[in-house]
Structure 1
Amino acid sequence: MAHTPIDPVQLSADLIRCPSVTPNEGGALALLDKLLSGAGFETHRVDRNGIANLYARWGRKGANRSFGFNGHTDVVPVGNPDDWSHDPFGGEIIDGVLWGRGATDMKTGVAAFAAAAIDFVHDTPPDGAVILAITGDEEGDAQDGTTALLDWMAKEGERMAVCLVGEPTCPNVMGEMIKIGRRGSMTAHFTARGVQGHSAYPHRAKNPLTAMVRLMDRLASHELDQGTEHFDPSTLAITTIDTGNPANNVIPAACRASVNIRFNDSHSGQSLTDWLWTEARKVQEETGVEISITTRISGESFLTPPGDLSTLVAGAVQAETGRRPELSTTGGTSDARFVKDHCPVVEFGLVGKTMHQVDERVEVELIHQLKAIYTRILTDYFA
């Protein structure tokens, strides 16, 4: 029976119509499961702690040559639907533009690589395996998404030789950027405990605000580094300082603050945690105010050094767009931070200008172009 090529735009629209706001599956993975299994992929639902995930493989298990795609079908909340020009879960195509939550981040990326994979294995069955690892928990805590898939793969003897994450990577125009690594990310929460007192008699109190402001200024004024070969300088941002004190004549007993650090390969989460504690102890000794810290490390910095994988992807991008992409490590975190412990990984996808915004949208021609790039990557990998 003749094979009808998969339209990535229609598939994108169908996925957008699935209200898969984290942690809800919304029907998106069920749709992909049916499509991929019908195309000859062996599929497995890998659900953990109420989070839905999908693993699909065409070809033999354990093949030495196995190209993997990773992406997510969960999306962030839409906010006030009345602020949208079109139904955020309508998947409407108007004047060559696809509208809806997930139109850039990243249901279109998943649709493009699923469509490319299905058509590729039908038209030119490769000597090896094509793998799709798709999660429903990238926009949330990411504890039971791609990590669950990788844990399941290790248990079952499944493996990708290399992987491409289909996150939007291009800042302004299609084809301008590939991610070959990501900065690490961590958040630190500080609590300063002093002694409450009357503001007219500050000598009878220990003001936790004085200590906290001094500590925050030291942290924010400190130059973490000047960048490295592949990374921009690390950054620290104060995100909140809270006392909950409604009285202007009371020195409060406690104060809380938080910072977020995006760090390059000059640091680790542990080295930065040690530095935060060192600075906190200095202020504690100076002021007599007790300071405690809790940290959460979302991911360490990582780099896939320029080489065969980045050259393969860059060549396909250039062939389809006419642009030689920059190899970058900018931006926030992605699930590539988990995949890098499994195999070499890079990221390439659409222009991400409207991701997480009201009126998220993308030109349909770019979705077709993305499928063509992914198809060329598969063709060149298995050539």
Structure 2
Amino acid sequence: MPAIDPVELTARLVRCASVTPANEGALEIVEEVLSQAGFNCVRVDRGGICNLFARWGARGNGKAFGFNGHTDVVPVGNPDDWSMPPFGAEIKDGVMYGRGTTDMKSGVAAFVAAAVDFVRDTPPDGSVVLTITGDEEGDGVDGTAALLDYMAENGERMDACLVGEPTCPEKMGDMIKIGRRGSMSAWFKVIGTQGHSAYPHRANNPLPAMVRLMDRLASHELDRGTDHFDPSTLAVVTVDTGNPASNVIPRSCSAAVNIRFNDTHSGASLTAWLEQEVAQIRDAFGVEVEMKIKISGESFITPPGALSALVATAVAAETGVTPELSTTGGTSDARFVKAHCPVVEFGLVGQSMHQVDEHVVVEQIHQLKAIYGRILRDYFA
């Protein structure tokens, strides 16, 4: 079996218009490649989401290294804004264009190609496990979480895992993610009494209450950062009354905030703080306040150690760059994997992800495969 070309495999995946939660044949392509190489492949579809579990090696035999990634992508927006077909995987001047080229079909192609070549050339005394979902860009409820549930129910395991998300901000090799901030959103509705703006004493205007609440939340210092995390942030993302009239005091007003938090906090502790702030506004202004919370993920950290050193050594060897260990950025499926085993993230330069004309330098796909292959060789050495 010839070596797997990660660029060709990336192109095949990009041509699948797998806008989350659609699959459009992407996982079938990966399953075919892995099955031909002797991987035991199981579809772990749940809730209408397509997922793939693949393992080379006997279950429970020796140590197990895992890769995690996703084949779903975000919408393309207006296709007319693209200079290249969004699902064409066309290459121009050494650059491949298309939705998912960076986030993260190249990453999946690179670790699939590296894993296949590795088990064929130097069969390890252990297992190589790949978990690939079609629901990272969506709600995440039935994606990697479903794969980990399947593993727990069937005695499957990873002793360490690398998530292949784009992690490098400027150049190939400059950053490894060893943790992520938590993320939560809160929606508020303040309800007062509607009235004529000329007679404000006959109404109970919800707007001053909402403005005070948003100001208190936005001006509050959550923390000053920790050893591995920047300070937590709270952003007011919308305030809306839906009121077109200038002579009417509205009955209600809505707003929302998003919080990215470090290991000083938990979703529960921040929820308790928000409840206290809401109670103060409710009492001070005599209004009703409704609040809805969604916690997308808790903060986590894989302390610098054997796994981060393994990855950093491979990155430096293949790129000549010493990577920074970071916890910056948004959420990823590492937030689920961290409950199963130590996890870090390393992948491509992510500057064009989710943008019009998303693209990847072709040579970097080959480089990424080489890094992943070296990680496997060093791990099982």
How far does residue 64 in structure 1 lie from its aligned partner after superposition?
3.7
Which aligned segments of 4 or more residues in structure 1 are displaced greater than 4 angstroms?
none
Q: What residue number does 2:310 align with?
A: 312
CA distance in 2, matches of 1:93, 1:113: 21
- Residues 1:301 and 2:292 are matched in the alignment: no
Is contact 2:172-2:348 (8 Å) kept? yes
- In the TM superposition, residue 63 of structure 1 has moved relative to its aligned partner by 2.9
Q: How does 1:47-66 map to 2 (within 5 A)?
A: 47-66=45-64
Please report how far the alpha carbon of residue 291 of structure 1 lies from its aligned counterpart in structure 2 after TM superposition: 1.1
Q: TM-score, normalised by structure 1?
A: 0.99
Residue aligning to 1:46 = 44
For 1:226 and 1:339, the matched residues in 2 are separated by 27
- How far apart, CA to CA, are the structure 1 residues paired with 2:23 and 2:317? 36
User: What is the identity percentage for the equivalent residue pairs of Structure 1 and Structure 2?
Assistant: 72
Match of 1:273 in 2: 271
Q: How many residues align?
A: 381
Q: Which residue of 2 aligns with 1:291?
A: 289
2:370 alignment partner in structure 1: 372
Q: In 2, distance between residues paired with 1:293 and 1:140?
A: 23
Match of 2:80 among 67, 79, 82: 82
Task: Indicate if the aligned counterparts of 1:64 and 1:161 stay in contact, CA closer than 8 A.
Answer: no
Q: Distance in 2 between matches of 1:124 and 1:94?
A: 35
Deviation per CA, 1:136-178: give whole Å up to 9, x if none. 0000001000000000110011000100000000001000000
Tell me the secondary structure at the aligned position of residue 318 of structure 1: helix
1:361 corresponds to: 359
Partner of 2:175: 177
Structure 2 counterpart of 1:47, one-letter code: D
1:350 paired residue among 348, 363, 374: 348
- Whether contact under 8 Å (1:52, 1:135) holds in the other structure is yes
Unaligned regions of 5+ residues in structure 1, if any? none
| Equivalent AA in structure 2 for residue 354 of structure 1 | S
Provide the residue aligned with 2:204 in structure 1.
Answer: 206
Where does 1:134-283 land on structure 2 (aligned, <5 Å)? Answer: 134-283=132-281
Q: Match for residue 103 of structure 1?
A: 101
CA distance in 2: counterparts of 1:366 and 1:342, whole angstroms: 30
For 2:64, the aligned partner's letter is: S
CA distance in 1 between partners of 2:216 and 2:171 (Å)? 39
SS of aligned partner of 1:228? coil
Separation (CA, whole Å) in 1 of partners of 2:352 and 2:305: 31
| Alignment partner, residue 27 of structure 1 | 25
Deviations 1:262-311 (A, max 9, x none): 00000000100111111111111111111121100000000000000000
- Residues in 2 aligned to 1:160 and 1:91: alpha-carbon distance in whole angstroms: 32
Normalised to the residue count of structure 2, the TM-score between the two structures is 0.99
Mapped to 2, the partners of 1:63 and 1:56 lie a distance apart of: 15
In the TM superposition, what whole-angstrom CA distance separates every residue of 1:27-84 from its partner, at most 9, and x where no partner exists?
1000101110011000000000110000000001123410000000000000111111
Given that 1:198 and 1:249 are in contact with CA atoms closer than 8 Å, whether structure 2 keeps it comes out as: yes
Please list the CA deviations of residues 241-267 of structure 1 after superposition, one character each: whole Å capped at 9, or x if unmatched.
Answer: 111111111111111100000000000
Deviation at 1:204, TM superposition (A): 1.0
Partners in 2 of 1:265 and 1:53 — Cα distance? Answer: 30
Secondary structure of the residue that 2:75 maps to in structure 1? Answer: coil
SS at match of 1:248: coil
